Amino acid sequence: MRYQMASDKKKPDFPGDEPESRTGLDDVLSSLFERGSLQSHAESRIPDQESIDGAELERRRNDVLRAGLRVLLQNARVPMRDVWFGQWLKLVRSRVNVREDEVSGLLGVDVRLWCMLEAKPLQVTSLQPDLFVKILDLFMLPLPAAEASMRKGLAQGGTGRVFARTTGAPPDVDWKHGFVGQAGNIRLQAPGAESALENLVQATRQLLEAQGRSDLLHESAD
């Protein structure tokens, strides 16, 4: 039996669209079309210049996957009350059973950078603004909520201490692809981290305004 979409079973919007009685010829035609036996030579007639190159194909595939993942993550939202930003990202990602490399791949960063992001509060404040915007967009998270969560992370980490001294990026990772600051080592102290966070929020707000993303600029009602 052939598959038919539910949307095709709607009430006909044209008086002649009522279901028609089908004959054996209709069934044979349908079968032949579906098997490709009556296909035209359309594909061979499409000029070469209208073909699509591999890089664009990959970009479009990522866009499609991002659209689906956005819905997936949206459906798995959890409160941010008791967790800092990186913890929240990990919590939501784990909840929908999506791997670190799948998320990092769609964001265009090394998976090891993503893992660092989920590991330490201070590293979050060192994010490149454009990557931060991509994360907010993928997780559909408004900037004010993310900022509050990041501040919470800094507060939980204590003041005056040096964070993440030993969590430098692996030497073969392009650190600056995802983070500002010195490659391989983070020596920011808490006050410095707060300043970094201020800078990040300011730059991100400007980017979102430039992109017209008012949905991510303000706290959502829920």
Partner 1 sequence: MARLPTDEDADLLARLASTDPAERWRASGEVFRRFFEDVRRMLLYWQRHRLGAAEANDIAQEAFERFSKQVVAKPFNARKIWGVREYLLTTARRELVRRLKDKDPGRAQKQEVDLSRSGADAATGGEGQAEEFESDFSRLEETLRESRNEWALPPTSSTERSEVEMPASELDRLVIAAFDALRLSERDREILRLRATESASYQEIADLYGISAGYAKKRNSELKERLRTSILSLLSRYDAAEASIIRRGLGISTDKEPSA
* Interface ranges with partner 1 (CB under 8 A): 1-5, 7-8, 12-17, 23-26, 28-40, 42-43, 45-46, 49-52, 56-57, 60-61, 63-65, 67-69, 71-72, 75, 96-98, 102
Minimum Å distance from CB 42 to partner 1?
A: 4
Of 50 and 172, which CB lies nearer to partner 1 in the complex structure?
50
Please state the closest distance from residue 29 (CB atom) to partner 1, in A.
4
Roughly how many angstroms between the first and final C-alpha of the chain, as a whole number?
Answer: 45
Region for 73 from its dihedrals, namely left if φ exceeds 0, alpha if ψ lies in -120 to 50, beta otherwise? alpha
Nearer to partner 1, 96 or 162 (CB): 96
**Closer residue to partner 1, CB minimum distance, 61 or 187:** 61
Min. distance of Cβ 205 from partner 1 in angstroms? 27
- Closer CB to partner 1, residue 105 or residue 181? 105
Minimum Å gap between C-beta 91 and partner 1 is 15
Q: Report, in Å, the least distance between residue 35 CB and partner 1.
A: 6
Residue 64 or 162 with smaller CB distance to partner 1: 64
The residues, any chain, with a CB within 8 Å of residue 149's CB and separated by 6 or more, are 80, 83, 84, 85, 88
Query: Residue 149 to residues 99, 154, 172, 183: CA-CA distances in angstroms?
Result: 23, 9, 30, 25
> Exposed, middle or buried, 208 (CB in 10 Å: 0-12/13-18/19+)?
buried
Residue 127 β-bridge partners: 179
